[in-house]
């Protein structure tokens, strides 16, 4: 049987401010075993290998997902150079409770644009909305979360990038963004070559048998 993978593994970098839930999103996507009481340690750098649905008739492709330490502080909104060069796609995560985490994504995006060579590189934005809002602490401004997400939506439209609302504690909320990203990183093969190849292999197997 011929099922060797021809394509290469897609490398996806997940970045954003420290504490927005990057590691939680990835662990939930890959293992699906996190709950609000799971203890996570600050990330230095981790690599996850995920077999990801492409939404094309059950076809799966491999993504290598790079988790980063997360940016912190005013002047630190810059990714190390090598992070801008190797990925095939970027996932930018923010927490709509904290407007700084959104502002930081604008800096990251313009750095990505500066460093990309001509090719189009898929970028998506995830608003990680936490389900558990402490009800005994009233919000400081009316509906800050919605305001920030409106701003994010406008920015994403202008940048022509997709904006998704997810909740890292709800695994199904992560499927659509990563499925469509996976499909973009691994474009469908043109149909013409493969049936021929399969025919050749079948013929060869027959003659060897």
Residues that bind ligand GDP (CB under 6 A): 18-24, 36, 38, 40, 43, 70, 128, 130-132, 167-169
Nearest approach, Cβ of residue 206 and ligand GDP (Å): 53
Quick one: how far is CA 144 from the chain centroid?
Answer: 25
Contact 13, 87 (CB under 8 A): yes
> Which of 16, 23, 30, 84 is the binder for Mg ion (CB under 5 A)?
23
Distance CA 203, CA 192 (A): 18
Q: Which two tokens stand for residue 184?
A: 């973009």
Contacts of 129 (CB under 8 A, 6+ apart): 96, 145, 165, 166, 167
Nearest approach, Cβ of residue 91 and Mg ion (Å): 13
Question: Which helix (H) or strand (E) element contains residue 202?
Answer: helix 193-208
45 by Cβ neighbours in 10 Å (0-12 / 13-18 / 19+) ranks as exposed
- Position 167 contacts Mg ion (CB under 5 A): no
Q: Which two tokens stand for residue 99?
A: 């407007």
Residue 132, contacted partner among Mg ion, ligand GDP, none, CB below 5-8 A by kind: ligand GDP
> Which of 9, 11, 43, 153 is the binder for Mg ion (CB under 5 A)?
43
Nearest approach, Cβ of residue 24 and Mg ion (Å): 8
Q: Which is nearer to ligand GDP, 132 or 135 (CB)?
A: 132
Residue 15 pairs with which residues in a beta bridge?
A: 92
Distance CA 86, CA 175 (A): 24
Residue 54, contacted partner among Mg ion, ligand GDP, none, CB below 5-8 A by kind: none
Single out the segment in contact with Mg ion by CB under 5 A; choices: 1-9, 18-26, 58-66, 177-185. Answer: 18-26
CA dihedral 62, 80, 69, 21 (to 10 degrees): -70
Residue 183, contacted partner among Mg ion, ligand GDP, none, CB below 5-8 A by kind: none
Residue 18, contacted partner among Mg ion, ligand GDP, none, CB below 5-8 A by kind: ligand GDP
Nearest approach, Cβ of residue 95 and ligand GDP (Å): 8
Cβ-proximal residue to ligand GDP, closest one: 21
Interface contacts to Mg ion, rule CB under 5 A? 22-23, 43
């Amino acid at each position: 049987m011929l099922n060797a993978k021809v394509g290469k593994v897609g490398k996806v970098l997940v970045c954003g401010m420290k504490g927005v839930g990057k590691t939680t999103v990835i662990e939930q996507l890959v293992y699906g075993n996190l709950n609000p009481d799971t203890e996570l340690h600050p990330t230095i750098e981790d690599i996850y290998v995920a077999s990801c649905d492409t939404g094309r008739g059950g076809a799966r492709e491999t993504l290598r997902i790079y988790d980063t330490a997360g940016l912190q502080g005013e002047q630190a909104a810059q990714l190390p150079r090598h992070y801008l060069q190797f990925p095939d796609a970027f996932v930018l995560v923010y927490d709509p409770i904290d407007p700084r985490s959104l502002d930081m994504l604008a800096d990251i995006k313009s750095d990505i644009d500066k460093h990309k060579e001509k090719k189009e590189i898929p970028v998506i934005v995830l608003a990680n909305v936490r389900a558990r809002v402490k009800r005994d602490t009233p919000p400081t401004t009316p509906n800050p979360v919605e305001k920030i997400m409106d701003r994010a939506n406008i920015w994403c439209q202008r940048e022509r990038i997709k904006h998704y609302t997810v909740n890292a504690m709800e695994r199904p909320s992560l499927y659509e963004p990563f499925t469509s990203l996976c499909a973009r990183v691994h474009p469908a093969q043109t149909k013409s070559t493969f049936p021929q190849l399969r025919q050749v292999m079948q013929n060869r197997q027959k003659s060897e048998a």
